[in-house]
Amino acid sequence: MATQVVMPKLSPTMEEGQLSRWLKKEGDTVAMGEPLAEIDTDKATMEMQALSAGVLRKILIKEGETAPLGQPIAIIGQPDEDISSLVGQQPSPTTTTPSAAPQKAAPAQQQPQTGGGNGGKPSPQSVSQPASRLVVSPLAARMAAEAGIDLRSLNGTGPGGRIVKRDVESAISQTKTTETAPARHLRAVEPSPLPASPFGASSYHDQPASEMRRTIARRLVTSLGPVPHFFLTTEIEMDRAAETRRSINSLDPELQITINDIIIKIAASSLSQHPQVNASYQDKTVRYYDHADIGVAVAVDEGLITPVVRSAEQKSLRQIASEVRDLAERARNRGLKPEEYTGATFSVSNLGMFGIDEFTAIINPPEGAILAVGAMSPKPVVRDNQVVVRQTMRVTLSCDHRVIDGATGAKFLQTFKKYLENPLYLIV
């Protein structure tokens, strides 16, 4: 009996999915539980599995296209079965919001056909089936397809050999260099003509937004407008924190403690002292959290994802450093489970490694605050009537004024600054 495969719900915040890659093509035999396609959600790329056996008779959406939850995306049936009644048919309400197990990729949701019969052969579909599995970001896959570049000819420079945007851009640049080399030689011996007319408007090309980028856009619209932000900035001397990091790492080079790990630990400890900042505004209540679940902003090819360090106030620097490295690597490979990037109570966004001195971050609802961290750099300061050079860093706390008042946010920053300038407070 033929069944409809519908777009499944693969994460708690998912509203639609983007078909990254079909792992089967029309006419291929499909076994129950066998991977059928890769779906881009708002945070990760996940495999979708078949719930029944048969033949992939019809692919209803192409790679790169987006479908809302519950929309039919393919049909599985017997080779000669009539599937005309299922093509274009809407799913029943019971299959419009399928759920996924968080520990593994969710199976494809399918709807049984109400009737059967004999019909025609499956129509051909121009969906390529790779000879071997490649680790490639969805954005890189789309760019390569548009430029006509064979992904198998590229060497991935991302984590685990993953092919990312810069690899495709490099291949495109090399292709253009090869194609235009003779033309440049000819221009070298011929006079350049004068432009016949002034430059017109720039040409452009549109590229489908990824699910991650769409989700970021939706969430920012619901943050900066409805959430009344205010911002508090302070400057922190970082010499002792930097020396603490060096001393810890000299004891065990494999620890690889970073300044950001220390910031996460101290932010969590400060939240324990100021629970009003570790809170979120609900419709008619203010929710205060018992633990500091710190969201750590990680830049990926297509946007930003915020994996969460749970109960960071109870963890050692060693635990935080190891956990952050693991979460960040899997975030860049789009391998996080939904529960690993949702439910933070407070976030830290650090752009210091990019040379940014100071910035303000937008709160990620329903959190009540986010800390923006700038670069650490030497600066002349006056101490005991003497000008000395100190490593300084500027941080800005963005606060939801419905939950946090100005004095409350300022007291949190005072504690954060005191701990960071004197890291020994953490062991007292």
Q: Which residues pair with 377 in a beta bridge?
A: 392
CB-CB contact of 236 with 395 (8 Å): yes
Residue 162 shares a structural domain with residue 241: no
Closest CA to 70 of 95, 38, 99, 50: 95
Question: Annotated catalytic, 401?
Answer: yes
- Asked if the structure places residue 153 within a domain, the reply is yes
192 falls within a domain? no
Whether residues 159 and 252 fall in one domain = no
- Same domain, residue pair 45 and 145: no
My answer on whether 400 and 257 are in the same domain is: yes
The pLDDT score that the predictor gives to residue 101 is 36
Domain span holding position 173: 141-183
Q: Do residues 67 and 105 lie in contact, with contact meaning Cβ atoms separated by under 8 Å?
A: no
Determine the Cα angle at 258 with ends 255 and 262, to 5°: 105
415 & 292 share domain: yes
pLDDT band at 200 (very low <50, low <70, confident <90, very high): low
Q: Considering the entire predicted model, what is its pTM? A: 0.58
Secondary structure, 3-state, the chain: CCEEEECCCCCCCCCEEEEEEECCCCCCEECCCCEEEEEECCCCEEEEECCCCEEEEEECCCCCCEEECCCEEEEEECCCECCCCCCCCCCCHHHCCCCCCCCCCCECEEEECCCCCECCCCCCCCCCCCCCCCCECHHHHHHHHHHCCCHHHCCCCCHHHCECHHHHHHHHHHHHHHHHHHHHHHHHHCCCCCCCCCCCCCCCCCCCCCHHHHHHHHHHHCCCCCCCEEEEEEEEECHHHHHHHHHHHHHCCCCCCCHHHHHHHHHHHHHHHCCCCCEEECCCCEEECCCCCEEECEEECCEEECCEECCHHHCCHHHHHHHHHHHHHHHHCCCCCHHHCCCCCEEEEECHHHCCCCCCCCCCCCCCEEEEEEEEEEEEEEECCEEEEEEEEEEEEEEECCCCCHHHHHHHHHHHHHHHHCHHHHHC
Are 79 and 21 in the same domain? yes
| Domain presence at residue 214 | no
Residue 191 lies in a domain: no
Q: What's the confidence (pLDDT) of residue 81? A: 85
What residue type is 40 in one-letter code?
D
**What is the predicted pLDDT for the residue at 137?**
67
- Residues 410 and 294 reside in one and the same domain: yes
Question: What CATH number does the domain containing 151 carry?
Answer: 4.10.320
Domains contained in the chain, number: 3
Residue 221, φ and ψ in degrees, nearest 5: -65, -35
47: Cβ–Cβ under 8 A, 6 or more apart, which residues? 23, 35, 36, 37, 38, 39, 105
For the chain, give the mean pLDDT: 80
The arithmetic mean of pLDDT across residues 107-129, rounded, is 42
Residue labelled with tokens 């789309």: 142
Same domain assignment for residues 88 and 179: no
Which of 154, 183, 212 is a domain's end point?
183
Specify the CATH number for the domain of residue 50: 2.40.50.100
Q: How many whole angstroms separate alpha carbon 301 and alpha carbon 299?
A: 7
* 195 belongs to a structural domain: no
Residue 19 within any structural domain of the chain: yes
What CATH number has the domain bearing residue 243? 3.30.559.10
When pLDDT is averaged across residues 3-26 and rounded to a whole number, the result is 84
As a whole number of angstroms, the distance between CA 233 and CA 204 comes to 39
Query: Both 47 and 97 in a single domain?
Result: yes
Q: What is the pLDDT of residues 232-266, one digit of tens each?
A: 999 999 999 999 999 999 988 788 899 999 999 99
In a domain, 193, yes or no: no
Q: Is 174 found in the same domain as 40?
A: no
Q: Is the dihedral of CA 190, 194, 196, 201 positive or negative?
A: positive
Query: What are the tens digits of pLDDT across the range 364-395?
Result: 988 999 999 999 999 998 888 899 999 999 99
List the one residue out of 37, 9, 16, 26 whose CA is nearest residue 76. Answer: 26
Q: How many CB atoms lie within 10 A of CB 382?
A: 8
Residue 260 in any domain: the answer is yes
Read off the pLDDT band of 19 (50, 70, 90): confident
Residue ending a domain, choose from 67, 98, 129: 129
169 falls in which pLDDT band (50, 70, 90)? confident
One-letter amino acid for residue 238 of the chain: M
Catalytic residue among 185, 229, 274, 401: 401
Residues 119 and 151 in one domain: no
Which tokens is 170 given?
């490099």
Quote the percentage of the chain above a pLDDT of 90. 41
Claim to verify: residue 348 and residue 260 sit in the same structural domain? yes
pLDDT of 293 reads 96
Q: Six-digit token pair at 179?
A: 């194609």
